[in-house]
Chain A
Amino acid sequence: MALWGMVIDLDRCTGCQACVVACKAENNVPPVGAKEAVRGRIISWMQVLTEEDEEHDGEVKRFVPRPCLQCDDPPCTKVCPVYATYRNPEGIVAQIYARCIGCRFCMAACPYNAKYFNWHRYQKEAPGQNPDVSLRPKGVVEKCTFCHHRLQKARERALAERRELAPGEYVTACAEVCPARAIVFGDLSDPGSEVHRLARSPRAFRLLEALGTKPKVIYLSEGEGRG
């Protein structure tokens, strides 16, 4: 069974936000408007966090693109009272919008702040939306699912053509679009895959590793290339 994961090379990330925009377009993530944004209601499944340099005030030390980390031991799914969020067998943490009661317990439990709430009904039917991704009603929590619909599509195509899913046939929108090729996506359980190789690099680390959440998004720390 595949174990989908992602490696993000912080050395390559330029903070250009292409992944953020691609994710929003791919998943019909709604713009909330300036007023709501000021109130802290922005929804952004992929978000580029910026770490300030403590020594040089006002300078950014590091860009950290942060999707849902698809933890293998996710704190968010344990607390959900209705199984609206759960880890599926391939390691993707899913969210059932039609079942979520909007208690936001999972948001309070996620140490990475990777879950977002629909404070209003932000999403309306509009031209140019991705028909493969459902629109979220108000009052539910939504999150990155590694573009799960892409996996379903690729798998169906493979099935129709009576063959196995080829590696590289399924990638997330953010990985596909990253101009610096900082994001690599693939099957962590496949020893031949690039993510598998990169995840073993000495530069590899995970966010808040000590919490034991076992994220499947792995970061590569800044290496010697930096001046």
Chain B
Amino acid sequence: MADPADSRDAALLAPIERTGRGFYVTVGILAALILWGAIAYWTQFNEGLGVTGLHQPVSWGFYVTNFVFFIGISHAGTLISAILRLSKAEWRRPITRMAEVITVMVLFIGAGQILVDLGRPDRMLNIIRYGRYQSPLLWDATSISAYLTASIVYLYIPMIPDIAILRDRVGKRKFFYSVLALGWQGTEHQQKVLNRAIAIMAVLVIPIAVSVHSVVSFVFSMTLQPGWHSTIFGPYFVVGAIFSGIAALIVAMIAFRKAYGLQSYLKPIHFRYLGQLLLVMSLLWFYFTFAEYLTGYYGSEPEEMKVFWSKFTGPFWPFFWGMVLTNVAIPLLCLVRLGRRTIGKVLIASLSVSVGMWLERFIIVVPTLSNPRLPFGEGIYFPTWVEWGEMAGSFALFALFYVLFTKLFPVISIWEIREGREVGLKEVEERLLTYLPDVAEPEVVPAKRGR
């Protein structure tokens, strides 16, 4: 169905065919940040973790926070896109690709944080040579690898028809696109296989995604430490991950909409729907946070309370209340009435949530470590330039990957948009009819175009 001569979606191919000045400026800025990160890491590699602000007892800080944060963001993609695909939400069409790219890119960065955090990165392979499966860190390694693999496949498969369009239309990189297109001709059989594959991957990816963030939370909750040893951590982290994932997705969408002039594809309605989703997740997140802290407070174990008060009124109060402000108050204010100026409001809410969820991760990692049970001496943690550099570099690296991706592949799925125009419309009408009381439902929903 992908007619290469169809020029209605030229806007989607434009960034691949032409490169403007904005691109070089962006890449330049990102490269500078990455260089800062690289210098920071090089310093740390040579001199040891002593160049960071970590110490005893706060032996985990920014790096672990970033790890949890990035892995959380990764839930944007694959999971949201899979849910939208499975629920046949038609408005998903311009969104899924962007979401899936986030997942793949950010998983690399997230997993990289653990390597940055290691005291002996040169011995990294010991994890494979001497792997000890009781350790939640190995569960992490396993489920993140599985998620990464599945996400790459899930990103790639729906891209094949688009790559074929590029092969036939774009002059550059002919060989590259030919190989990746796997001989796609758009025959009915090929389309059927493709749709089947997408459907299978969509189903497969959801449990894997849920497992990933549960396991990340187990790194904390399997220990006996106050504030960590909690049974709701698995679901709590999953909710937080989806929450921050949606926020990141919205930010990326708005950025590319502006940069590549995609206003006619990404309309206010998309942002309204995503904004509503974000609002729901914000409330859900608040519920989990409330439940978690209320049980801690009510139980009132002295050691728990030390951590609790250090967050509420102690040295970590700016982070804790900042988190409440950015994760609940601001999103609520912005999203409850999404009438006019949808995009601006949704953007503010999303940026706020992105900051807030980072704070949430930080407020989970550090206060527990800085309040030891024994009279050991408390520790306050101040990151050094090395940690800031690594963090800036990581974010920049993620952005750079993303920007480069959009230079090679369309950031919105062309064939799915076309399919929406050609088949989707009619199909939705038929489907709507079957929902109504006076229309007989067809025996079994025909699997002819199951997606």
Contacts and interface: CB of A to CB of B under 8 A. Distances in A.
A80 interface: yes
Contact of A66 (B47, B54, B223, B374): B374
A103 interface: yes
Nearest to A207: B374
A200 interface: no
Nearest to A213: B224
A40 interface: yes
B118 A103 contact: yes
Interface string A89-106: 000000000011111110
Q: Which of A111, A137, A207 has its CB near the most chain B CB atoms (within 10 A)?
A: A111
B55 interface: yes
Nearest to B219: A105
Given A101-B126, A113-B57, A118-B119, 16 more contacts: A39-B53, A40-B57, A64-B374, A78-B222, A81-B127, A81-B132, A100-B119, A102-B49, A102-B123, A108-B223, A108-B369, A111-B225, A118-B48, A119-B50, A119-B55, A139-B49
Interface in A34-85: 36, 39-42, 47, 49-52, 64, 66, 75, 78-84
6 contacts: A64-B375, A81-B131, A82-B130, A102-B49, A117-B56, A207-B374
A211 interface: yes
B120 A101 contact: yes
Nearest to B140: A81
Given A82-B131, A99-B123, A120 B47 contact: yes
Contacts of B369: 108
A41 B49 CA distance: 11
Given A51-B375, A102-B49, A108-B59, A139 B120 contact: yes
Contacts of A107: 56-57, 59
Interface residues of B, number: 45
B56 A109 contact: no
Contacts of A140: 119-120
Of A40, A64, A99, most buried by chain B (CB within 10 Å of CB) is A40
Contacts of A41: 50, 55-56
B132 A80 contact: yes
A3 interface: no
Interface string A119-140: 1110000000000000001111
Contacts of A78: 134-135, 222
A1 to B, nearest CB: 23
Given A108-B223, A112-B374, A121-B48, A80 B56 contact: no
A116 interface: yes
Interface of A: 36, 39-42, 47, 49-52, 64, 66, 75, 78-84, 99-105, 107-109, 111-113, 116-121, 137-141, 207-208, 211, 213
A120 B55 contact: no
Contacts of A40: 55-58, 377, 379
B384 to A, nearest CB: 10
A120 B135 contact: no
B114 interface: yes
Interface string B122-141: 01101101111011111001
B117 interface: yes
Contact of B373 (A42, A102, A208): A208
Contacts of A118: 48, 119
B375 A52 contact: yes
B58 to A, nearest CB: 8
B156 interface: no
B376 interface: yes
A81 B134 CA distance: 8
